[in-house]
Amino acid sequence: MPRKPNYHADRMERERAKAAKRAKRDEARSERTAKNKTGQDEGTEAQAEASPREDQ
C-alpha cells in the first residue's frame, strides 16, 4: 500500500535543503570575494611602490 502524500512536509523539506545549499554557496562566494579583495589590495600597493610616478 503506497504511503499517503504529505505535500506540506515534503515541500518544507525541499525548501530547507535548498536554503542550506544556497547558504553554503553564498558563504563560499563571500570567502572567495574577500580573498580576492585582499589579494588585489596588496597587489596594487606593491605595484605602486615598485613603479612610482614622477610626473611632477
Q: Could you state, in order of their start, the residue ranges of all structural domains in the chain?
A: 1-33
Percentage of residues in the chain having pLDDT higher than 90: 54
Name the pLDDT band for 7 (thresholds 50, 70, 90).
Answer: very high
CA distances from 42 to 17, 22, 34 (A): 38, 30, 12
Cα-Cα end-to-end distance for the chain: 87
The DSSP secondary structure of the chain, one letter per residue, reads: -PPPP-HHHHHHHHHHHHHHHHHHHHHHHHHHHHHHHHHHHHHHHHHHHHS-----
Which of 20, 42, 24 is closest to 32 using CA atoms? 24
pLDDT confidence of residue 15: 98
pLDDT score at 32: 92
